[in-house]
Amino acid sequence: MKKPRLALFAVLALSISAAARPGHPLEYQLVTVRVTSQTWNEYRPWQKTKPQTRTFVGTVVSGNRILMVTDDLVDATLIQVEKFDRPPRVPARIVHCDQQVGLATITVDEPGFFDDLNPVEIAENTNGTDYYSATWKSGQLSIAACRWSEATVFNSGMPYFSYVGIYFITDLTGGGWGEPVFSEGRLVGIVNAQNKNRRATALSAELIQAYLRAADLSDYPGFAWLGINYQINKGLAQAAYAGQKGKPTGIRIRHCFPGSSVDGHLLPDDILLELDGHPIDSLGDYVHPRYGPIDINLIATDGHYAGDVISAKVLRNKEETMVEIPLKNIPPSAALIPKARLDTPPPYLLAGGFVFRELDVPYLRAWGDKWKEKIPSYLRCLYEMKSESPTLEQQRLIVLADVFPDEYNLGYHDMAQNI
């Protein structure tokens, strides 16, 4: 009988250690955010799907604002906030939202709501020791240790934007809903994803600081994207053909996304040697002062906003030349097959029982989790080969999404899903 009691005591001890003591400072810096959203029906674009409600962690920042990740905010119909993970739920509204960055600020207009809350201190960067994350669980503040794994450059789920994300190994279960990561009492990141192996991805303190500074401006500049498709430059023969001598450096430009920052400034077959003063190696990396070798796409967002101008050194026609690159923000709608829609329903035309609509990735995602494997092969080919290649003559692809059942349309139903 003693062994079960000892085991039960051990489980209780672990549970207690995971919960913060009452009155912990974080209790006055974190809130619970419930977001109810309705997405559009991709096959019946004039209808919406059933509403769904998800719960996120909100972090109180200066100016009576709550910082959170942007999941579901595009189609949000109701946002509610709870203090101390307990009723009442108070209506909130969006102050600012950047779906490309993945961050948003919301606020509560109810007088006195923020009186017993305190803004977090945000670190200048992600350097730190003894990392930990926090969230609300069943009315208790749960704090879990985190261990730094690595830093890498991600492409945002809402194109077009590249950012540095930090991988943490966390002791928190069921995370990925905006949990803040701290070190020495300062915010160093916001978790936007976590897998079943407890590997969490966090937006960095540098990005959080940059976003909040930009959101405070009267005219939000947005963040830029380079828009280059490049080839590594490791082959001696290729480097010699381009005019390089000795060990290859830099990368070969293959393609520039139409309308992007580099479009018209860098040319195919250019060898990009330096960008914004950073030497580029043959793999497409530069040496970041904190993260070490990392992908060059970060240069456009690390310390820069759309509208800034950076310089590039290129090897063109076997001669080195300097090029000025004005940084641009590229909206998701820029692609031939847009990867996302911002606060808009799917454009469609209903005529004679035929439902025509623009082909975009939200439509393709309607096939389910493994949509790339499930969609028809011709749609997959279009997505893989032409999704980012708009032209002046062709800005969109139109798909026959559905054919209504009617005697007039007999024989046409097999044409559904055709371009």
Burial of 220 (0-12, 13-18, 19+ CB in 10 A): middle
| Cα 353 from chain centre | 38
Q: What are phi and psi of 100, to 5 degrees?
A: -70, -45
Residue of 364, 371, 353 lying closest to 417 (CA atoms) = 364
Given a contact cutoff of 8 angstroms between Cβ atoms, the answer to whether 201 and 165 are in contact is yes
**Of 266, 389, 344, 251, which Cα lies nearest the Cα of 45?**
344
Give SS3 for 31.
Answer: strand
| DSSP notation for 164-217 | EEEEEEES-SS--SS-EEEETTEEEEEEEEE-TT-EEEEEEHHHHHHHHHHHTS
Which amino acid is present at 300?
Answer: A
Rounded CA gap, 17 and 247, in Å?
A: 55
DSSP string, 126-146: S--SS-EEEEEETTEEEEEEE
Its pTM stands at 0.88
Residue with tokens 């195919």: 268
pLDDT score recorded for residue 20: 58
CA angle 369, 96, 307 (to 5 degrees): 95
Whether the Cβ atoms of residue 61 and residue 105 lie closer than 8 Å to each other:
yes
- Contact criterion met (CB below 8 Å) for 342 and 332: yes
Task: Please name the residue that has the structure tokens 């405070």.
Answer: 216
Looking at residue 11, its pLDDT comes to: 40
- pLDDT for the residue numbered 89: 97
- What local confidence, expressed as pLDDT, does residue 393 receive? 78
Quote the tokens at residue 108: 């509560």
Q: Supply the pLDDT for residue 324.
A: 98
Q: How far apart are CA 77 and CA 93, in angstroms?
A: 10
Cα 228 to Cα 231: distance, rounded to the nearest angstrom: 10
Q: Please list the rounded mean pLDDT of every run of 10 residues in the chain (419 residues).
A: 42 44 86 95 90 96 97 90 96 96 97 97 94 95 96 90 96 95 97 95 97 97 96 90 91 92 96 98 96 97 97 96 97 86 86 91 92 91 77 85 85 82
Indicate the residue type of 258: P
Instruction: Report the C-alpha gap between 360 and 370 in whole angstroms.
Output: 16
Identify whether the C-beta of residue 253 lies closer than 8 Å to the C-beta of residue 267.
yes
The pLDDT of residue 158: 84
Please report, as a single letter, which amino acid is at residue 73: L
Domains and CATH numbers, the chain: 25-107 (2.40.10.10), 122-212 (2.40.10.10), 228-326 (2.30.42.10), 332-415 (3.20.190.20)
User: How many helical (H) and strand (E) elements, i.e. helices and strands, does the chain have?
Assistant: 6, 25
Quote the CA–CA distance of 180 and 23 in Å, as a whole number: 18
The per-residue pLDDT for 363 is: 93
* Cβ neighbours for 371, distance < 8 A, ≥ 6 positions apart: 364, 365
How far apart, in whole angstroms, are the C-alpha atoms of residue 149 and residue 168? 5
Cα–Cα distance, 339 to 371 (Å, whole number): 13
Rounded to an integer, what distance in angstroms lies between the CA atom of residue 26 and that of residue 19? 12
